[in-house]
A and B are shown apart, each in its own frame.
Chain A
Amino acid sequence: MVVFVFEMDLQAFNQRILPVQGRLFRLAQMFLRNREEAEDAIQDVLLRLWTNRQQLESYHSIEALAVQMTKNLCLDRLKSHHKQKMQNDADVTSVQAAELSPHRQLENSDSASLIHKLIGELPEQHKLVLHLRDVEEYSFEEIEQVTGLNNANIRTVLSRARQKLRENYLKANNYESGY
């Protein structure tokens, strides 16, 4: 009887959490820049959510909560082993559209890992907002829920992050001028 209730609970939990898992993973990977560590981090987050499942109902958005938790956990971990700088920058596996020529593919994967690295160098707030918007395609309302910033602030942070990323990319590639 108890087991039955427990299983239903887990099933419900999985239904709500599984669709978000990929997002949490990508966010963790963006921060930690390492696949294993990212998996480990979201495992931790999901376990915490599961342990506190009774309180979950009171949250407006479980996804926003999970994203927040993932961000905080990743930042904590980065702080705790700050010294071991991630060498695994090239960890992004290139999933590319098949119709691109090998040359473009190679170029893309090179520049993608460069972009990945450059995003990693942005301030925390900037990379979070940029990631949520440009990778996960969050609406401003959703970003608001996660970051607590208001709409205008989000636009400002987003704009700065995009410009900074472009600037650094051009610098790295020795392009002569801005866009």
Chain B
Amino acid sequence: MNQDIEKLLEKYYEGETTIEEEKELKRFFQQEHVPAHLMSHAAQFGYFIEARNEYPSLTFGGELSALLDPPKQTPVRRFGSWLLRIAAGLALLIVGFLGGRVFQERSGGGEPLIATKESVSQAEIRNVLAFEKMNSTSASERIHAVNQSYDLSDVDKEITQLLINTLNFDPNINVRLAACQALQRFRNEDDVAESLVPSLAIQTDPNIQIMLIEVLVSIKEKRAVEPFQQLVRNQDVMEVVRLKAQQGVSELTAADV
């Protein structure tokens, strides 16, 4: 046996052994009792076997798959640490607190608040009544927008023009009525009276015709006389409206006298 081993060793150092023979050598030097004169060969074979049993640590596989498959792993891991979570929570709190304070400071003085509220509702009215949006908003939304104009202390041309457009072209009669009522409030604005007169020719609904006549009479709009007379002559117009127009004509001309 030992002679075989000695021969194998010789072959081994010449680089001529097969894998099988090398395995035999490893087995031989793994035994408890290795002959003394061969003992000096034992160390390397012991090392070879030992080194073969080395593996990456258990956590390595996990780390690796996290590295190779990042899309699922990284978003979760990024907020993994407790410290980060606490820091994020604190940051949110501070932002909220500061935001609250800034908001309070801004709304501290009363007037600016109203100004902002008013500009907000003006924008809202514009938004809802805009001509191109008529098909996407509901009638009640538009009435609400028209009624919001009552809150405005001061109106600009744009709003009155919007209301006039609504009065003339809104498909819903109730919205047109509301617009008419709202315009009554702004009758002292220059354009309002002017544009109410041609509107008479456009309107076909008796309710609105009557209301328009009333408004025009109340502002003593002389330019309305001519369209009033046209209404009176028009056989298609309802009897009540023609009567009302007749009254209007006499009232306006009477005031003139």
Q: Which one of A47, A99, A135, A170 lies within 8 Å of B67 (CB-CB)?
A: A47
> What residues of chain A lie closer than 8 Å to B14, measured between beta carbons?
155, 159
Q: Which one of A29, A134, A159 lies within 8 Å of B22 (CB-CB)?
A: A134
> What residues of chain B lie closer than 8 Å to A94, measured between beta carbons?
50
Of A55-63, A67-75, A82-90, A112-120, the one contacting chain B is A112-120
> What residues of chain B lie closer than 8 Å to A133, measured between beta carbons?
22
- In angstroms, Cα B132 to Cα A165, docked, is 92
Question: Quick one: which of A100-131 are within 8 Å of B by CB?
Answer: 100-101, 104, 108-109, 111-112, 114-116, 119, 131
Question: Quick one: which of B37-90 are within 8 Å of A by CB?
Answer: 40-44, 46-48, 50-57, 60-61, 63-65, 67-69, 71
A96 in contact (CB, < 8 A): yes
Q: Determine if A115 and B53 form an interchain contact, defined as CB atoms under 8 angstroms apart.
A: no
Query: What mask results when residues 38 to 67 of chain A are scored 1 for a CB within 8 Å of chain B, else 0?
Result: 110011001100100000000000000000
Main secondary structure of the interface of A (DSSP, over half): helix
Q: How many A-B residue pairs have CB under 8 A?
A: 116
Beyond the given pairs A99-B32, A112-B46, A179-B13, 6 more chain A to chain B contacts, judged by CB atoms under 8 angstroms and listed by A's residue number, are A10-B68, A21-B56, A26-B51, A30-B51, A47-B68, A135-B48
A-B contact pairs, 9 of them (CB 8 A): A10-B65, A22-B54, A39-B60, A95-B54, A96-B50, A112-B43, A112-B51, A115-B46, A179-B13
| Chain A to chain B: the 9 pairs with minimum beta-carbon distance, closest first | A159-B15, A111-B43, A115-B47, A158-B15, A155-B15, A112-B47, A95-B53, A25-B56, A108-B46
Partner-B contacts on A (CB < 8 A): 3, 7, 10, 13-14, 18, 21-22, 25-26, 29-30, 35, 38-39, 42-43, 46-47, 50, 92-97, 99-101, 104, 108-109, 111-112, 114-116, 119, 131, 133-137, 139, 154-159, 162-163, 165-166, 169-170, 173, 175, 179
Partner-A contacts on B (CB < 8 A): 9, 12-16, 19, 22-23, 30, 32, 40-44, 46-48, 50-57, 60-61, 63-65, 67-69, 71
